[in-house]
Structure 1
Amino acid sequence: MLHYLLKRLASLGLSLVVASLVIFLTLEVVPGDPAAYMLGINAQEDTLAALREELGLNGSVVERYLSWVGGLLVGDFGTSYTYRTSVAEMIGERLWISLPLALYALALSTLIAFPAGIWAASRRGSAADVGVMGITQLGVAIPNFWFAMLMVLIFAINLRWFSAGGFVGWNAGLGAALKSLTLPAVALALPQASILARVMRSSLLDTLSEDFMRTARAKGLSRGQALRRHALRNALIPVLTIIGMQFSFLLAGAIIIENVFFLPGLGRLVFQSISARDLIVVESVVMLLVFAVIVVNFLVDLTYAIVDPRLRGRR
């Protein structure tokens, strides 16, 4: 297990280094002069020189990269050129919206997908199986932004059960805050639940056809008992992969949903910063999101070792 953990930690560190290099080169080197990009082609030379000095762009590429990475390691993300405030403070404020939204959506997705996938797999070929797979196919096909606008129309405008957008803040109470996130979370969760349910069904069907499942049935276990005691655990590895990928997507890829519901989260911050050409905010937020994705994948790998002990002994 220790050897497995060390290998995954080494892979985690290498992935972070490569990701930081790609982000830095893409945003600060490939476009040319970052100051000219941020201020536009009509900027005066003295203004460009002042911005280069402010952002520390007069050093070499290596010096700038090491300075940026060093700042990230100590929590110093710099100061936003557009908002004139600490990027770390901006990220902290937005993270308390994006992270609960992602967790809320992931919880809804899992609570919907697991029963649906297990139900369909245990009744393969039946009307229930066909119905569940038909619904999940529809869920995969419908774009989440269209579904989000439909939910706003029905539940916010017509029924007035929820607000059409915005976030009341955690100071208003947990119930009010979660109510503000409910429609966005559902809009994010249903397409992901459709994917997860299909993977759960497929993985379970593969497991149910294995020899050890026939042995379990031969020893007197019912189909349901064999499924719960043996099949579910062995079918979880591909499902865990999808859950990890979904959390990464829900945290880093909710830009459209956050804009539909006017949520001041990380996705909306990235969108606004790209529009304002604020490279300092963009590269810091993107690096943070990449870090979250890599760490989630690392945790999924560790979960593999817990679910399937055979992986712990691999060299």
Structure 2
Amino acid sequence: MIRLVLLRLSAFVLTLFAASVVLFITINVLPGSAAKAALGIDATAQAIQRFEAQNGLDRPLFVQYLDWLGRVFQGDFGKSFQNGVAVGPELLKRLPVTLELAVLAFIIANLIAVPLGAWAARRHQRATDRSVSFLATILGSIPNFWLATLLVLIFTLKLRWLPPGGFTPLSVNPWLNLRQMIMPALSLGLVSSALLIRIMRASMLEVLSTDYIRTASAKGAGGMVVVFRHAMRNALIPYLNVAAVEFGFLFGSVVVIEDIFLLPGVGSFVLVGIINRDYPVLLSAALAITVFVLTVNLVVDLAASLLDPRQVKARNA
């Protein structure tokens, strides 16, 4: 088990390093000028030159990367080109908002996907199975920003049940926080559940066709007992791997949703950085999302290894 953890941690570090290189190069070679975005379209050539020299943008790209990486290791994520605000503290302040949104959306997606996928597999090639597959197709074809707009139209403008946006910390007012976060979470979670329903259904179908499940059924075990006591654990192993990736997509796809609902999270921070060509903001936000996604994948990968009966048996041997 220790060897497995060390291997996964080594892969984590190497992947994070490669991702940081790709992020830095991609952001810096995109068309546009950070100096012009910060100084305005009327900035003179001398002012642009001075700005680039002050911020190290006139140096070779690999020198800029090494300097940025060294500062990141020291906990310094730089200052925004637009307002000079330190990026690190601002990112830490916004991270809980995005994390709460992603977790709520993930919970919603799994509450839909796990029971529906298992139910569809249990009722394979029947009306229930076809209905669930059709629902997954519909949910998967809906853009989350369109669904967000529809939810605002129904629950805010028509029914007046929920506020249109904004954010109140959970510690200040839990009820208001939930009312403000439910529509953004539904916008992401409903769309995300489409893929997870298919994965859960496919995984459960594979497990239900195995010999030990047929044996359990032949011994008189009820349908629900077979599904939830015997099949669910093995079906969750491939499902968890895909769910971890999907959670990463959720965390990284909050940009538009946070903008629609006026949530002060990492996603809206990224959007501001893109609009303003603010390299420190973009790099820090993108790196934070990357670290979070890789961490989740690492934890789920280890959890899946613990759940796998074959590896459990090997460790106990």
Contact 2:38 2:82 in 1 (8 A): no
* Aligned Cα root-mean-square deviation (Å): 2.3
What does residue 14 of structure 1 align with? Answer: 14
Shift of 1:38: 5.5
Contact kept in structure 1, 2:34 and 2:278, CA below 8 Å? no
Query: Does 2:248 correspond to 1:248?
Result: yes
Matches within 5 A, 1:48-197: 48-57=48-57, 59-170=59-170, 172-197=172-197
Give the match's secondary structure for 2:162: coil
1:275-294 counterparts in 2 under 5 A? 275-294=275-294
The farther-off stretch of 123-132 and 32-41 is 32-41
- Identify the range of structure 1 (177-186 vs 162-171) with the bigger mean alpha-carbon deviation: 162-171
Question: Once the two structures are aligned, what percentage of the paired residues are identical?
Answer: 39
SS in 2 for 1:160: coil
Deviation at 1:131, TM superposition (A): 2.0
TM-score, normalising length from structure 2?
Answer: 0.91
1:155, CA displacement in angstroms? 0.2
Indicate the larger mover: 234-243 or 165-174.
165-174
The residue identity in structure 2 corresponding to 1:256 is V
**Partners of 2:232 and 2:52 in 1: CA distance:** 57
| Number of aligned residues | 314
Aligned equivalents of 2:110, 2:60: Cα separation in 1: 48
CA contact (8 A) 2:34 2:276 kept: no
- Does the Cα contact within 8 Å between 1:304 and 1:311 map onto a contact in 2? no
Structure 1 length normalisation: TM-score? 0.91
Shift in Å, 1:254: 1.2
Q: Which runs of 5+ in 2 are unaligned?
A: none
Q: Which deviates the most, 95-104 or 111-120?
A: 111-120
- Structure 1 unmatched ranges of 5 or more: none
Indicate conservation of the 8 Å contact 1:28/1:34, yes or no.
no
Higher mean C-alpha deviation, range 217-226 or range 290-299 = 217-226
Match for 1:300: what amino acid? V
Q: Deviations over 1:96-143 (max 9, x none)?
A: 211100001111111121111122222223322222222222111121
